[in-house]
Amino acid sequence: MSPYLSPDLPISPPTLILPVCNQKFLMLLIHKRVLLPNLVQLWKNWTPSLLQKPPLPMIEHQFISGVSQGLHPPNSAIPNNNSPNNPSSPSFSSPLINFGQINVNGLCSPVRQLHLLNYFLHSSFGVLSLNDTRLTSSSAKFIYQNEHSQHNFKSYWALSLLIHDLMMKIDPWNGRLLKLDLFFHQTKISIISVYIPPYHSIHYKERDAIFAQLNFWLDKAHSNNYHVIILGSSPTFYHQNGSSRLDYIWSSPGFPAPGLFSYVETCPKLNDHQFTDHHVLITAFDFNSCFATLAKARLKQKSEQRTIFLYKELKDDTWDKFSIEVNSRLELYLTTHHPSITSLSALSLDKLWHALKRSILGGAIDSLPFQHVSNTHHHKYPPELTMLIAINKFLDRLLFKLTTSRPSRPAQISQMINSLSTQLILLKSLLKDYTIPIYSTTPLPAFIKFLRSQKALVSAYLSTQFHQHRVDSIEYYTALRDEHFSTSPGSFISSALSVEH
């Protein structure tokens, strides 16, 4: 595990933080249209807070988790506040999930609550851990109640609960720790949010208890084959002025969703003032391997399909029929929607392009041969990418056979282990800087750990290669379409009908 240091803003002198109540509250916010395995929206509310007179039950921490919004590679990782890819549009999903950690320095003011909500909804967070909310239990229950229906999330309160038939389990501890267990096919993940009080004599016993419970959870996760992510604010590093500001995002070795990159950003200002004296720490994890199996199972269960046009098999008479159909639809569109206009050239470019797309698609449905295919159907990838996909699937199958409780054929496992060296040689041919590690098939736990490390490497590289392939394809076919528009109308229509292009 490697911590990431969150850079600091100028801060005021440190304030002594004391627990004033032992009550624990859990608030669960769920996007109504989001289904597992997407991470649901979750808020965690804890109780220790600032010392007040008279003492009030306070909530120190919150934990938000929401659906991932789109692919954010390193060059575009910083969330775009104007992006339409927000939680209100859960249909746009990506296996790349951003985990964030921030100390908000109080969330009592309705203005600050709204500011934070806007920041979360318009950013690319999949999981956001908040600390130091300073909310009372009575007021925290009603946070964002009016926004639930507007932004498609719902809040729930409980001490500990199970969701969706053990698909998720929430386990809080003494207002300082909260563990969220996610259960995927073949994969179990624990997300732990932690707050450790400042290093002071009055906190010695409490800190020891927190570390003991955290170590207990980690030992239990290791013995039960759980992978772990830890997010939290841990004041373990001190500046010369006596203050301490350090945020962590840890992932356990061999974590199935590789951490692709990390960065920090400043929370947007509120009324020209800093919202908090902490930066937001963000790490992007690729959950492609976790979601892939569930996605395929869902497609198989629901028999979801899409339609593709077999434009490469068209003959001249079919093209003529298609051309007549498109012309007829264009004339019908002009007569129906713009009866006062006698020529298509009089339309604006936007309306003309809209009419052309509708006519081409309608004419294709009536005139061209088509085929219903699975949603997993795709065109052929480049040889290097195809080879990388095969290596990734091989490691998936081998890990499954070695870790599943189902009986497996020893001869088949032995054959796959013997083929591992060949797969690693192929991987070396694709990765110039890759060196084949020295490994042993015994003991089995060490061999499984080695396979998971190689799987994480292949998954991370495969994710970047897929993204690069999509970018290259878009650039290539866009340039080709522009060229065909003026030189070859037939080829232009062919590319317009191709979903793959």
Per-residue model confidence as pLDDT tens digits over 161-174: 333 333 567 787 87
Q: Measuring CA to CA, how many Å separate 35 from each of 3, 40, 295, 328? A: 31, 8, 12, 43
Q: Is residue 306 part of a domain?
A: no
Amino acid occupying residue 20 = V
Least confident of 161-175, 308-322, 324-338, 346-360: 161-175
What is the mean pLDDT of the segment spanning 412-426? 91
Among 15-29, 69-83, 94-108, 379-393, name the most confident range. 379-393
Burial class (CB in 10 A: 0-12, 13-18, 19+), 4: middle
Query: Could you tell me if 347 and 496 lie in one domain?
Result: no
Burial class (CB in 10 A: 0-12, 13-18, 19+), 122: buried
pLDDT surpasses 80 at 52? no
Q: Apex CA 101: angle with CA 121 and CA 51, to 5°?
A: 105
Write out the two tokens for 144.
Answer: 């964002």
Cα 458 to Cα 420: distance, rounded to the nearest angstrom: 14
Query: Could you tell me if 341 and 265 lie in one domain?
Result: no
Query: Could you tell me if 398 and 417 lie in one domain?
Result: yes
Q: Is residue 1 part of a domain?
A: no
The answer to whether residues 127 and 281 touch, using CB atoms and an 8 Å cutoff, is no
- Counted domains in the chain: 3
Query: Could you tell me if 350 and 445 lie in one domain?
Result: no
Q: Is residue 162 part of a domain?
A: yes
Query: Could you tell me if 342 and 382 lie in one domain?
Result: no
The last residue of a domain, from among 240, 265, 298? 298
pLDDT surpasses 90 at 216? yes
- What one-character DSSP code corresponds to residue 342? -
Least confident of 58-62, 117-121, 202-206, 392-396: 58-62
Query: Could you tell me if 265 and 165 lie in one domain?
Result: yes
The last residue of a domain, from among 345, 368, 391? 368
Sign of the torsion formed by the C-alpha atoms of 445, 184, 38 and 382: positive
Query: Could you tell me if 361 and 472 lie in one domain?
Result: no
pLDDT tens digits, one per residue of 178-190: 888 887 766 888 8
Query: Could you tell me if 392 and 492 lie in one domain?
Result: yes
- Where residue 240 falls among pLDDT bands split at 50, 70, 90? low
276: left (phi over 0), alpha (psi -120 to 50) or beta: beta
First to last CA, the chain: 42
Q: Is residue 417 part of a domain?
A: yes
Query: Could you tell me if 277 and 320 lie in one domain?
Result: no
pLDDT surpasses 60 at 312? yes
The last residue of a domain, from among 264, 298, 332? 298
Considering only residues 54 and 304, tell me which one the structure prediction assigns the higher pLDDT: 304
Burial class (CB in 10 A: 0-12, 13-18, 19+), 205: exposed
The answer to whether residues 34 and 90 touch, using CB atoms and an 8 Å cutoff, is yes
Amino acid occupying residue 132 = D
pLDDT surpasses 50 at 474? yes
Q: Tell me how crowded residue 449 is: count the other CB atoms within 10 A of its CB.
A: 13
- Where residue 237 falls among pLDDT bands split at 50, 70, 90? low
Write out the two tokens for 489.
Answer: 């109308």
Three-class SS of residue 414? helix
Q: Is residue 310 part of a domain?
A: no
The answer to whether residues 44 and 27 touch, using CB atoms and an 8 Å cutoff, is yes
Cα 434 to Cα 423: distance, rounded to the nearest angstrom: 13
Cα 174 to Cα 95: distance, rounded to the nearest angstrom: 33
- Where residue 280 falls among pLDDT bands split at 50, 70, 90? confident
Q: Is residue 308 part of a domain?
A: no
Cα 322 to Cα 156: distance, rounded to the nearest angstrom: 55
Burial class (CB in 10 A: 0-12, 13-18, 19+), 12: exposed
> What number of helices (H) and strands (E) belong to the chain?
11, 20
The answer to whether residues 343 and 329 touch, using CB atoms and an 8 Å cutoff, is no
Length, in residues, of the chain: 501
Q: Is residue 428 part of a domain?
A: yes
Q: Is residue 5 part of a domain?
A: no
Cα 96 to Cα 79: distance, rounded to the nearest angstrom: 13
Query: Could you tell me if 283 and 405 lie in one domain?
Result: no
Cα 501 to Cα 493: distance, rounded to the nearest angstrom: 11
Write out the two tokens for 33.
Answer: 């249209």
Query: Could you tell me if 196 and 150 lie in one domain?
Result: yes
Query: Could you tell me if 345 and 233 lie in one domain?
Result: no
Least confident of 192-196, 239-243, 367-371, 421-425: 239-243
Containing structural domain, residue 108? 17-298
